[in-house]
Amino acid sequence: MASKKKYNFIIGIAVAFLLPLFSWFLFKNLSKGVVKIPGHYGMDYVDTFKDKDGKLQYDTVYRAVSDISLSNQLGNTVDLNRDLRGKILVINFIDTKGSALSNTMMGNLHLLQQSYEKKGNLDWLQFVSITVNPAQDNVLALRHYADKFRVNHDHWWLLTGDSAAIYQYAQKDLLLQLNPLNQETEEPFNKVVLVDTFRHIRGYFNAVDTLELQRLADDISILTMEKLKKK
């Protein structure tokens, strides 16, 4: 147990140290077209149009993630798209009964949150953890679970609500094959979904893999630079 805590501490320090350095590197290279921008997921249709020379061009249009209304750990009803407009979203699914998988995900994401919090970079980023068991995970249970992982309540929402709406959001909007009957054995339960400010899916990451978590941090930084570049 002690060695695991030491390992997590080292990972947290490494992420906190490397994140600002990596952000500077991205900002420098993004303008040169060197950095690979995270792709898009969830193709809607292919648009066709003619350019100024009359040549037929094709443009893939990706669907945006729909809004959903849920209750957070503070008992507030929130709408993800409306209330978090202009923010990059990091979305995962949890179970507060304390499964090892859920606890590992939350611990890893807490380290990531800390790295941004220490640098004051949470204004444009929101962590969102949605329960897969809303019948069990009421507002009070979510509040206790949030406090267990020292969640920043302003920038990390733990959400509960209508079960059918949650699973439809996971399956239809986030494109996760999350199964309510055996959610803990399904691979999508491990996943973190990165959603940009236009509500397009920009990546999937294994939340229990620290290397994947670093890749998530990298892509968040890229999307931030992408956002600044468009201003």
Q: What does DSSP say about strands 43-50 and 56-62: parallel, antiparallel, or unpaired?
A: antiparallel
* Domains in the chain: boundaries: 2-230
Q: What is the pLDDT of residue 19?
A: 52
Q: What is the pLDDT of residue 143?
A: 97
Q: What is the pLDDT of residue 118?
A: 77
User: How does pLDDT run across 176-201, given as a tens digit for each residue?
Assistant: 988 776 555 555 678 999 999 999 99
Q: What is the pLDDT of residue 3?
A: 55
Q: What is the pLDDT of residue 224?
A: 84
Q: What is the pLDDT of residue 207?
A: 85
1: its two tokens? 């147990």
Could you count the other beta carbons within 10 Å of the beta carbon of residue 105?
Answer: 25
Distance in angstroms (rounded) separating the CA atoms of residues 196 and 173:
14
Which residue type does 118 have? K
Q: What is the pLDDT of residue 35?
A: 66
Residue pair 202/38 in contact by the 8 Å Cβ criterion: yes
> For the residues of the chain, what is the DSSP string, one character each?
-HHHHHHHHHHHHHHHHHHHHHHHHHHHHHTTT-SPPP--B-EEEEEEEE-TTS-EEEEEEEPPPPP-EEEETTS-EEEHHHHTTT-EEEEEEE-TTT-HHHHHHHHHHHHHHHHHHHTT--TTEEEEEEES-TTT--HHHHHHHHHHTT--TTTEEEEE--HHHHHHIIIIIS-----TTSGGGSGGGGEEEEE-TT--EEEEEETT-HHHHHHHHHHHHHHHHHHHHH-
Question: Which parts of the chain register pLDDT below 70?
Answer: 1-35, 44-50, 54, 56-59, 98, 120, 181-188, 227-231
176: its two tokens? 């996760």
CATH topology classification for 2-230? Glutaredoxin (3.40.30)
Q: What is the pLDDT of residue 54?
A: 67
Q: What is the pLDDT of residue 137?
A: 94
pTM of the shown model = 0.79
Residues 6+ apart with CB under 8 A from 101: 184, 189, 190, 208
Q: What is the pLDDT of residue 26?
A: 47
